[in-house]
Every structure is written in C-alpha cells, then in structure tokens.
Amino acid sequence: MFSKVLIANRGEIAVRVIRACRELGVASVAIYSEADRQAMHVRRADEAFECGPAPALESYLAAERVVELAGRAGADAIHPGYGFLSENGDFADLCAQRGIAFIGPSGDVIRAMGDKLSARAILEQAGVAVVPGTREPLVDADAVAAARTLGFPVMVKASAGGGGRGLRLAADESALLKALPRARSEAQRAFGDDTLYLEKALERPRHIEVQVLADRAGRAVHLFERECSIQRRHQKLVEEAPALGLDPATRAALGEAALAATRAIGYAGAGTCEFLLDASGAFYFLEMNTRIQVEHPITEEITGVDLVQAMIRIAAGEPLPLDPAALAIRGHAIELRIYAEDPEKGFLPAPGQVAELRPPGGPGIRLDAGVEAGDAVSIHYDPLLAKLIAWGADRPEAIERLERALAELRIEGLRTTLPFHRWLVRHAAFRAGEIDTGFVDAHWPGR
C-alpha cells in the first residue's frame, strides 16, 4: 500500500479521496490554487501545497507543477479525482516517468478511450453496439451529406472530452450548419481539439452507465448500472442506482457489454461505460470514462463497495478486492447534485459565499460536500457544492427519505439548485419513473 497520496483535485471529490486514504492508513496531500487557500479539502488533508494562481490552467491543470509537488511532498501516488487531469493520458505518462503511481489506467488506455472516434472503433471490434454515426473526423463540407445518410435529427459531438461540451443537437440542415462552428469553437476552448463527428439522435433516450472495476492481472467485474437521464445542458443533475425498470436480460447484457469494453482495452482501475437506451430496449455504447464518476456514491450504497478505496488498492498492485459471486443489488439509491446555480435562470452559475450549511441526517442519508459555512464559491471552477444521497429498501422509500432530507438541508448565502430538487422529488412523472434525457426541458418551468 502507498504511504502518501497527493490528490490532484479540489472540492468534494478531494475530500472524498482524503477520507478513503485515512481509512487505509495513507497520508493525504492536498493542492490548492490561490483562490482555494482556505478551502475545505485543504483543511481536511494531512498536508497541503499551493499549486498556482486561480485559473485552472495555471494551477490544477499544470501537470509538471503537480508532479513536482508530489515529489516535494514525498507522495508515492497521485489520485486525479474527476475532471482536471483525470483523463489526461500525458499526465499519467508523466507520473510513470517520475516514478509516481497514477491511480487510474495507463496513458495509452486513457488516450484510446478519451477520443470517442477511437473508442467507438475499438468497441465495434469487440462486438459492442455503438450509436450509428460517422467513423472519421468530420469535414464541414461533408456534414450535410453525412447527416442525410444517418437521417435527421443528429448530434454534433466533439471527439475529445465530455461533460456536454462541444455537443449540439441538429434537427435539420439549417440547424446543422449553425451547430458546426459553435461545437468546434466550444470543443477547441474546452479540450484544445476541435475534431467533431456525427451521431444519429435517438428519440427520448435514457442515459444508462455501468460501473466497472478491473485489476492489473486482467480480472474485472461490473457493479451494475446507474440511471443518469435527468440532465441540463447534457450534464447530469440526478442519478439513481439501479436503473429504472430494466429486465434481468437487459441488465445482464449491459454488464457484459461493459466488461467486453473493459477487457478489449486492458483496463485497470475504476471506470464507467456509458450507454443510451432507446424506447425499444436496445442499447448503444456512448463512451468510457476512465476515472471515478461524480455519481459513484449510489453504486457504493447499493453494493457496499468502497470504490475509491478499491481503485487505490488496485493501483497499489493488489488483486481485485471483490468476489464477483457475492455482488448483488441491495435496495435503491438516488443522488442529487447540488450546484451553485440559479435554476430559475436556466441554471446559470451563481458564485458567492456559503453563509450557512446545515446538513440533513437520519437513516439512509449521506451528504458528500466540498464546502462548509464561510467558504467562497469561485467563478473559476465547476459550481458543484455537494451531493445528497438517499438510500432505501426500494425506490419509493429512497424518494421519501430524499424529500425529508431536502426539507432539513439548508444552504444559505447564494443561489443553488435546491429549489429544482425539491420540485423534482414531488413531481408525479419522476415518482412514476417516467424519465428520459428530455425530462428537464419537458417539465421544469424555470428552463
């Protein structure tokens, strides 16, 4: 086991990794930008080092500096969390070159899965169905002809990155011609790569993902699936585990497809295979996230597996710490992502200072927070404040516990998405499980 781990991240995921390290008896090292000097993850860590000015490019994304700080701290491993450098293959390579373990897959695997065109080709060869789409980088002059072949509507998608950036829906040729420059510009700004491709847009799809764990000896398991269909701007707001209403055959097929992807690339660590499920029950591979996911707690709640500890153990060379035969779904869990955003104004970011944070409690409730009262929420970073997780013996119980917890939770001093979440848990369609990726646009009056 490692003696000291540097966490190359901030906010709630940094706090989560610090807690996992402490339970493993491993010292933790935080890094912080000038804007985060007093941040919660800095207060929780055993040691902390400044990594640069507030802009992420000069601090949390400064790969050489992060690795240098790990060496100065005497850390023998780096946990990247999610976002920032977590899916940067060159950063994983740099860690290896400096003799520091990267808690995640190899740089080659990250690059292969980080490029969606490459990932689609690998998965097709492994026999996994992908959403119909173009196979080569898109040339704007050929886009209309390619879209006609696929059939409108189509999705214009960035080959690099994720998080809904560089993604546009085009219902017809006119919309496609407007979407192309916007998607290219956004992809270039976000990922430094403006490569695009087209996918057929499925009608009212559901977004389903499967959690996998694999060790360096090639042993792999899946830990069932999560429902991630309630989104705004193609970014998730609410997740559930297990997914709603899947029959045993579809659940098994999704798990096998995720394992096929995992084995096809020689994956090691914790990862997530994302799929779209159409109205007929057919599913198609979207992408693989080669890191821990924001929504990992709901999988932990229904399986009893500490995913963050597991990925640390795997990176340290330990065998997969699970017996596949013992894995089973226990109850139902729902996670709400609580952002510093104004849901009444199209979920616009709403930075400020947290004047008060009063957490909820009681059976089945978990709050993974990255801020406390008095903390500032900067304009420089993702506005995620906390994740509220409710577990119940079944979905109705999880929803009732969630509603109770939302009544107890108080975050004052800035606008948050709590009004949206309180509305959601009372909505008849949500309670009935009638959800898809268009739920927010179809139902939320503040859109």
Are 381 and 253 within one domain?
yes
Are 376 and 333 within one domain?
yes
Residue at a domain's end among 166, 200, 234: 200
Q: What is the pLDDT of residue 192?
A: 83
Q: Where are the beta strands (DSSP E) in 249-393?
A: 269-277, 283-289, 332-339, 341-342, 348-349, 352-353, 356-358, 365-369, 376-377, 384-392
Domain that holds residue 96: 4-103
Based on the residue annotation, tell me whether 291 is a catalytic residue of this protein.
yes
Are 168 and 220 within one domain?
no
Residues contacting residue 434 through CB under 8 Å, at least 6 positions apart: none
What are the distances in angstroms from CA 127 to CA 21, 246, 289, 336, 430? Answer: 38, 22, 19, 34, 34
Q: What is the pLDDT of residue 203?
A: 86
Residue 108 one-letter amino acid: D
Are 159 and 93 within one domain?
no
In a domain, residue 182? The reply is yes
Q: What is the pLDDT of residue 318?
A: 96
Q: What is the pLDDT of residue 366?
A: 98
Are 145 and 219 within one domain?
no
Q: Where are the beta strands (DSSP E) in 72-192?
A: 77-79, 101-102, 154-158, 167-170
In a domain, residue 113? The reply is no
Q: What is the pLDDT of residue 321?
A: 82
The total domain count for the chain is: 3
Are 337 and 413 within one domain?
yes
Residue at a domain's end among 200, 228, 258: 200
In a domain, residue 282? The reply is yes
Q: CA 1, CA 318: separation in Å to the nearest integer?
A: 8
Are 153 and 210 within one domain?
no
Nearest to 157 by CA among 276, 278, 293: 276
The CATH number covering residue 322 comes to 3.30.470.20
User: Phi and psi of 317, rounded to 5°?
Assistant: 95, 5
In a domain, residue 51? The reply is yes
In a domain, residue 112? The reply is no
Residues 375-397: pLDDT tens digits? 999 999 999 999 999 999 999 99
Are 371 and 423 within one domain?
yes
DSSP states of 241-263: ES-TT--HHHHHHHHHHHHHHHH
Q: What is the pTM of this model?
A: 0.93
Q: What is the pLDDT of residue 447?
A: 67
Catalytic residue among 120, 251, 291, 401: 291
Residues 59-96: pLDDT tens digits? 999 999 999 999 999 999 999 999 999 999 999 999 99
In a domain, residue 122? The reply is no
Are 416 and 314 within one domain?
yes
Mean per-residue pLDDT pooled into runs of 10, the chain (447 residues): 98 98 98 97 98 96 97 98 95 98 97 91 90 93 95 94 85 95 91 92 94 96 97 92 96 95 95 94 92 98 97 96 90 98 95 97 98 96 97 98 98 97 97 95 87
Are 289 and 364 within one domain?
yes
Are 76 and 155 within one domain?
no
Residue 104 one-letter amino acid: G
Are 348 and 260 within one domain?
yes
